[in-house]
Structure 1
Amino acid sequence: MSLVRRYSNKELPMRSRAVAYPLLAVLGWGVMFPILASALNRVDPLNLTIARYLLAVAVLVAILLFREGASALRHGGRTAEVVVLGVVGFAGFNLLTNLALEHATPQQVSLFVATTPVITQLVRWVRDGIRPKPLLLALSLVALIGVGLVITRGSLAGLGQFGLGGLMMIGAVLGWGIYTHGASRFGEWSPLRFTTLTALAGTAAMLVVSVGADAVGWQHAPGAADLVAITPQLAYAVLVGAVIAVLAWNTGVQRLGAANAALFMNLVPVTTFAVQIARGYRPVGVELAGAALTIAALVAANVATRARTTPASQATAVADPVAVVDPVAVVSR
């Protein structure tokens, strides 16, 4: 069924504009992984995360107060949801990702992030009772095999190099899948309000973890010289990675739905690999094959999910938070 038959002439331009939001987010994040990895040479991962989000939250709160006023800082009876999503999504994803970057290359980490579409479907299964098709689960396994090829470079001896980091990234992606699914339930809030309030909750949790880690000697508080040395990386991670990208992501989730937006995570490893290759990295054939296998499996999984949608629900996909569309086809219009 063509896109012309699914959507009216008015809906297509609106949907094309909506696609720009998650696209902007994932491109920003794909570039961010190599940038964060370089900053970890001077600052421990937990301290880097809290420095990034203390600055980001200050920016977000200022924008929210200017745009919507102090009343927007109230949770409106949804405090528990906001706190859980902030801790699991913001704190969980960012802390675990930065820790994983100590055990893996940016391109390896980015491939785990690309499994978000599948994770989101599994979260929907648990939360909403919408069971994935067996084909989806099979393609999920294929995607993980592809990740394994990249991590190990085709050698089983490489498994030990990323064991802990791999577990961290599984937890990180699960947390982001829960956050993405949860964001689709806050349609009455602006993306700015949802992003700011969950970021506040997540940053509070990250601050507790980071201060505790410094106190027991797991890491060391950075000096002024360290923070000055990573100013360019921190500026990008705050303004692009934590403010612009997250706002764009949550806007895309509200306009396209959680499953729709999650599809764009397939582009994160493509962007990260491109950045690393531009910086001089030369992947071996098995890495390229593994990356291609992962991306192909994830795209196929989303196509399979889309095929499950009935024609009636496709006709109202903008209002359906779990419908899946093809972003390439939409953009090409």
Structure 2
Amino acid sequence: MRSRSAALPLFAVLSWGVMFPVLASALTRVDALNLTTARYVLATAVLVALLLAREGVTALTTQRRGVEVLLLGALGFAGFNTLTNLALGHAAPQQIALFAATVPVVTQLVRWARDGIRPRPAMLGLSVVALVGVGLVITRGRLDGLGEFGLGGLLMVGAVLGWAFYTHGATRFPEWSPLRYTALTAVAGTIAMLAASAAADLTGVQHAPHAADLVAVAPQLAYAVLVAAVVAVLAWNTGVRRLGAADAALFMNLVPVTTFAVQILRGYRPGAVELAGAGLTVAALVAANLVTRTPARRATTATPVPAAVVDRPAVVEPVAVVGR
């Protein structure tokens, strides 16, 4: 059961890792913020249609939690994507990708701050090990300039915090299906992105794309919408529901490693340090999976633990999965 659950966030992060090379060519025709907004307008329409078909119109209600949904959607969808795009104008892509790998540690710290649940030392340690591996992959062992991120680094701190709060927020809606949480927060995030894009277009920071530009990037948009923003986010939120936010967030370390692997398939030849870093990251994730399995095995022979002291969220069966 746990292996099948782990496949969900794994699929999500692999999809997101592939997405960066896929969208790279699209950015030559459409500005980054407008491209992201177009992607989520389409993805949100698909998510809302799926929600209506599966759970009915009553699922569109927020049950008096509209402010929380709006905040989480703005942080997770609009905040992460917008701040990441802005950061790319101030820092190298490999530096930005390195920040994304800090999500596991930040998510555990967010859970500690909000819920008072102290992270297990082994999980924190393995998160750091995986982060070191990702750093080796991205920097090829040249770490001398990593301390000078400037404005780009500050923007990415905000982006990572936004995604960590969004990931943690999924566990606060145990009575909602992953589809409902994804769709309603996507609506909120898309509204925020539309507002940001309109402001940027009106002030001349970017230019609204022509219809011909959108047609030219249709294949990239199709992947980014259907796979990376619908299927992957649904898989991610379902995985968070089953595994817990801290354990699921460990898989975020594979996003930059996946992007790196795609570049190899396109002809890039990695060095020994990069291959060692990729191996270190995968080994840390496997070890983390084994660590989280140990308590479950012991529980089969131990006295049942009262539900009040279990920090895992209630399991909700995933939707019929069709998703930065």
Name the SS of the counterpart of 1:185 in structure 2.
Answer: coil
Aligned to 1:40: 27
Name the SS of the counterpart of 1:188 in structure 2.
Answer: coil
Decide which of 36, 45, 50 is 1:58's aligned counterpart: 45
Q: Structure 2: how far apart are the matches of 1:310 and 1:145?
A: 30
* C-alpha distance after superposition, 1:119-174 (max 9, x if no partner): 21111111111233566666666655555555554446754886444443332222
Once the two structures are TM-superposed, the CA of residue 84 in structure 1 deviates from its matched residue by: 1.1
2:209 maps to 1:248: no
Decide which of 105, 117, 126 is 1:118's aligned counterpart: 105
Which amino acid in the other structure matches residue 174 of structure 1?
L
Aligned to 1:276: 263
* C-alpha distance after superposition, 1:217-269 (max 9, x if no partner): 11111122221221111111000111111111111112222223223223323
Please say if residues 254 and 281 of structure 2, whose CA atoms lie closer than 8 Å, have aligned partners that are also in contact: no
Which amino acid in the other structure matches residue 252 of structure 1?
G
Instruction: Say how many residue pairs are matched.
Output: 308
Decide which of 173, 196, 202 is 1:215's aligned counterpart: 202
* C-alpha distance after superposition, 1:81-110 (max 9, x if no partner): 1111101111111222334455434x6544
2:89 maps to 1:104: no
* C-alpha distance after superposition, 1:49-104 (max 9, x if no partner): 10100111111111111111111111001112111110111111122233445543
Q: Structure 1: how far apart are the matches of 2:151 and 2:23?
A: 19
Name the SS of the counterpart of 1:178 in structure 2.
Answer: helix
Decide which of 56, 62, 67 is 1:80's aligned counterpart: 67
Please say if residues 143 and 293 of structure 1, whose CA atoms lie closer than 8 Å, have aligned partners that are also in contact: yes
RMSD, matched Cα: 3.2
Please say if residues 131 and 253 of structure 2, whose CA atoms lie closer than 8 Å, have aligned partners that are also in contact: no
Please say if residues 251 and 285 of structure 2, whose CA atoms lie closer than 8 Å, have aligned partners that are also in contact: no
Q: Structure 2: how far apart are the matches of 1:81 and 1:314?
A: 40
Please say if residues 86 and 199 of structure 1, whose CA atoms lie closer than 8 Å, have aligned partners that are also in contact: yes
Q: Structure 1: how far apart are the matches of 2:187 and 2:85?
A: 19
- Aligned pairs for 1:199-214 (under 5 A) are 199-214=186-201
1:269–1:47 distance in 2 versus 1, CA, 3 Å: same
Q: Structure 2: how far apart are the matches of 1:284 and 1:161?
A: 24
Q: Structure 2: how far apart are the matches of 1:132 and 1:257?
A: 12
Aligned to 2:181: 194
Indicate the larger mover: 176-185 or 108-117.
108-117
Indicate the larger mover: 45-54 or 281-290.
281-290
- Aligned pairs for 1:1-333 (under 5 A) are 12=1, 15-101=2-88, 103-105=91-93, 109-132=96-119, 146=133, 148-155=135-142, 158-159=145-146, 163-293=150-280, 311-312=298-299, 320-322=310-312
Once the two structures are TM-superposed, the CA of residue 279 in structure 1 deviates from its matched residue by: 1.0
Indicate the larger mover: 164-173 or 305-314.
305-314
Q: Structure 2: how far apart are the matches of 1:298 and 1:170?
A: 23
Question: What's the TM-score once normalised by structure 2's chain length?
Answer: 0.81
Aligned to 2:319: none
Q: Structure 2: how far apart are the matches of 1:314 and 1:99?
A: 52
Gaps of 5+ in 2: 314-324
Name the SS of the counterpart of 1:40 in structure 2.
Answer: helix
Q: Structure 2: how far apart are the matches of 1:48 and 1:125?
A: 35
1:122–1:167 distance in 2 versus 1, CA, 3 Å: same
Q: Structure 1: how far apart are the matches of 2:129 and 2:116?
A: 24
Q: Structure 1: how far apart are the matches of 2:241 and 2:300?
A: 17
Gaps of 5+ in 1: 1-11, 324-333
Q: Structure 2: how far apart are the matches of 1:297 and 1:271?
A: 16
1:288–1:162 distance in 2 versus 1, CA, 3 Å: farther
Q: Structure 2: how far apart are the matches of 1:292 and 1:169?
A: 26
Which amino acid in the other structure matches residue 104 of structure 1?
A
Once the two structures are TM-superposed, the CA of residue 25 in structure 1 deviates from its matched residue by: 1.3
Which amino acid in the other structure matches residue 82 of structure 2?
L
Identity of aligned residues (%): 71
Indicate the larger mover: 211-220 or 281-290.
281-290
1:216–1:292 distance in 2 versus 1, CA, 3 Å: farther
